[in-house]
Amino acid sequence: RKEVEQDPGPFNVPEGATVAFNCTYSNSASQSFFWYRQDCRKEPKLLMSVYSSGNEDGRFTAQLNRASQYISLLIRDSKLSDSATYLCVVNPSGTGGFKTIFGAGTRLFVKA
Amino acid sequence: GAVVSQHPSWVICKSGTSVKIECRSLDFQATTMFWYRQFPKQSLMLMATSNEGSKATYEQGVEKDKFLINHASLTLSTLTVTSAHPEDSSFYICSARKLAGTGNEQFFGPGTRLTVL
């Protein structure tokens, strides 16, 4: 089993749609969780951290379910510019550790 | 800000040559930098963790004699791909870690696309 698993997609949605991605992780001791966005042939950029209580940033909502060991990302009112690959990122060691595990990414295409 | 640069952004070389890639943190000091490799349509794979002033820590399956890492200062880490072969062609990305609030955010360089002929 991979340490971090994501549905590769692609998700093809129309503008304005709501889309949700899930990600599961295998290490129950994992402490830090993130969603990154990666555009084609570019480096990943941090989209948002994921906190235990859930957090929202504009059209983006991230949630963490420790019991089931998954995190989710919800995008509301999708824009064309949201088309990208979304990477689920887990730091198994907490704030004191350095190893970060990346999921393979979920590809999103938003169409007009 | 937290800007990380990489040089070169792309390189094409002949099989058997060595290629050096630089990673710099431009506006902050990074005691730890990370080197990743990403093949098309695959996730980033951590190759090694680069620690300033000490030897790098390599992930399982990564040859330390082939991928030489030097972290000579708090703002510069270099990755040298020695005797490169076509299978080494990939997108190499570095990142530097910056402690931020309740989590540890990594800032990524723009990547270096290596093509070995």
CA triple A28-A29-A33, angle to 5 deg: 90
Q: B93 touching A, CB under 8 A?
A: yes
Which pLDDT does position A93 carry in this prediction? 62
Backbone torsions φ then ψ of B82, nearest 5 degrees: -90, 145
- Residues 6+ away with beta carbon under 8 Å from A68: A24
Does residue A46 have a pLDDT over 60? yes
Check residues A27 and A95 and name the one with the higher pLDDT: A27
**What SS3 class is residue B47?**
strand
| Mean pLDDT to the nearest integer, B25-30 | 86
Percent of chain B with pLDDT over 70: 92
Mark out the alpha helices in chain B (DSSP H runs): none
Question: How close, in Å, is residue B56 to chain A by CA atoms?
Answer: 13
- Residue pair A17/A112 in contact (Cβ under 8 Å)? The answer is no
Does residue B98 have a pLDDT over 70? no
User: Cα–Cα distances in Å, from B18 out to B1, B9, B57, B83, B91?
Assistant: 33, 16, 21, 5, 16
Token reading at A66: 């420790």
Does residue B19 have a pLDDT over 80? yes
Does residue B104 have a pLDDT over 70? no
Question: How close, in Å, is residue B16 to chain A by CA atoms?
Answer: 25
Distance CA A35, CA A55 (A): 12
Residue B110 to residue A43, Cβ atoms within 8 A: yes
Which pLDDT does position B68 carry in this prediction? 95
Distance CA A99, CA A45 (A): 17
Residue A43 to residue B109, Cβ atoms within 8 A: yes
Which pLDDT does position B101 carry in this prediction? 44
| Mean pLDDT to the nearest integer, B2-7 | 90
**What SS3 class is residue A106?**
strand
Distance CA B23, CA B31 (A): 13
Distance CA B27, CA B16 (A): 35
| Mean pLDDT to the nearest integer, A54-58 | 92
Which pLDDT does position A56 carry in this prediction? 93
Which pLDDT does position A29 carry in this prediction? 84
What value does the mean pLDDT of chain B take? Answer: 88
| Mean pLDDT to the nearest integer, A32-42 | 90
Which pLDDT does position A96 carry in this prediction? 46
Does residue B102 have a pLDDT over 80? no
Residues 13-72 of A with CB under 8 A from B: 32-34, 41-46, 49, 51
Q: Which residues of B touch A100 (CB under 8 A)?
A: 34, 46, 104, 106
For testing contact with chain A, the best of B10, B44, B52, B90 (most A CBs within 10 A): B44
Which pLDDT does position B16 carry in this prediction? 96
| Mean pLDDT to the nearest integer, B12-36 | 92
Token reading at B61: 């399956």
Q: A87 touching B, CB under 8 A?
A: yes
Question: How close, in Å, is residue B43 to chain A by CA atoms?
Answer: 4
Which pLDDT does position A95 carry in this prediction? 45
Q: B102 touching A, CB under 8 A?
A: yes
Instruction: Place B6 in a pLDDT band, splitting at 50, 70 and 90.
Output: very high
Distance CA B57, CA A23 (A): 27
> For residue range B58-93, what is the model confidence (pLDDT) as tens digits?
999 999 999 999 988 889 999 999 999 999 999 999
CB atoms < 10 A from the CB of B25, how many? 25
